[in-house]
């Protein structure tokens, strides 16, 4: 059975800006076939018609986003438990898009959610949704968790990608080194610290990867 990746807009945008979105499937080779699902808003939010480069800033990033979106399925409220969706929508910090992604993952045993939304993760962790937590066990993968996977694949290329695009994510830029490249040990410690912070909030909802 295929593993479904429910990916939020923030992860798509940042990985594309780093030039590594196209390599995302390499992080999930243990899982065999993968299928990608995104929000209905992804295309017009990430590639607005009037100025497709407004957010992604480059033709290369836009091309990677386009390739992913052309292959992706759209997440629909009809795919989820509406009671679960309603619970998630009521949580401060979780917007409608993230609520739909979390609800979709909760409804599908063979799925994970890839999210860079810290406010949503904080909301999910602080509002103790005990009834929902078992359905999200090991299903949440943060942006920093994904970057850990890319580091395992190719540390030097990942470090170059992130240090070449310091405006994309300030925290990641600090981890990988601003004025000089950080050591591999320092990078791993920094990423582990960020993931560990979210793990303290979410417990077993956080995926144990990489490898995923």
Mean pLDDT of 155-168: 98
Residue 180 resides in a domain: yes
- Total count of domains within the chain: 1
* Percent share of the chain, pLDDT over 90: 92
Residue 211 resides in a domain: no
29 band by pLDDT with thresholds 50, 70 and 90: confident
Residue 212 resides in a domain: no
Q: Which domain holds residue 102?
A: 3-205
Residue 11 resides in a domain: yes
Question: Parallel, antiparallel, or unpaired: how do β-strands 111-115 and 140-142 relate?
Answer: parallel
Residue 210 resides in a domain: no
User: What pLDDT was estimated at residue 68?
Assistant: 98
Threshold 0.95, pTM exceeds: yes
Six-digit token pair at 110?
Answer: 């063979």
User: What pLDDT was estimated at residue 201?
Assistant: 92
Burial 1-13 (b: 16+ CB within 10 A, else e): eebbbbbbbbbbb
182 CB contacts (<8 Å, ≥6 apart)?
159, 175, 176, 190
């Amino acid at each position: 059975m295929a593993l479904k990746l429910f990916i939020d807009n923030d992860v798509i945008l940042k990985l594309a800006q780093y030039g590594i979105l196209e390599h995302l499937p390499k992080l999930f080779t243990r899982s065999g076939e993968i299928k990608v699902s995104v929000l209905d808003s992804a295309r017009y939010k990430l590639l607005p018609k009037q100025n497709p480069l407004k957010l992604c800033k480059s033709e290369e990033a836009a091309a990677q986003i386009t390739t992913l979106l052309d292959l992706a399925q759209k997440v629909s409220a009809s795919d989820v438990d509406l009671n679960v969706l309603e619970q998630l929508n009521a949580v401060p910090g979780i917007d409608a898009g993230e609520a739909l992604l979390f609800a979709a993952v909760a409804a599908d045993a063979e799925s994970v959610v890839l999210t860079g939304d810290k406010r949503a993760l904080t909301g999910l962790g602080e509002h103790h949704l005990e009834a929902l937590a078992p359905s999200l066990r090991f299903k949440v993968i943060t942006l920093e968790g994904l970057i850990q996977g890319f580091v395992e694949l190719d540390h030097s290329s990942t470090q170059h990608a992130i240090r070449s695009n310091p405006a994309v994510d300030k925290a990641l830029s600090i981890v990988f080194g601003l004025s000089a490249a950080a050591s591999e040990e320092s990078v791993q410690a920094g990423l582990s610290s960020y993931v560990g912070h979210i793990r303290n909030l979410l417990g077993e909802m956080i995926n144990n990867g990489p490898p995923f």
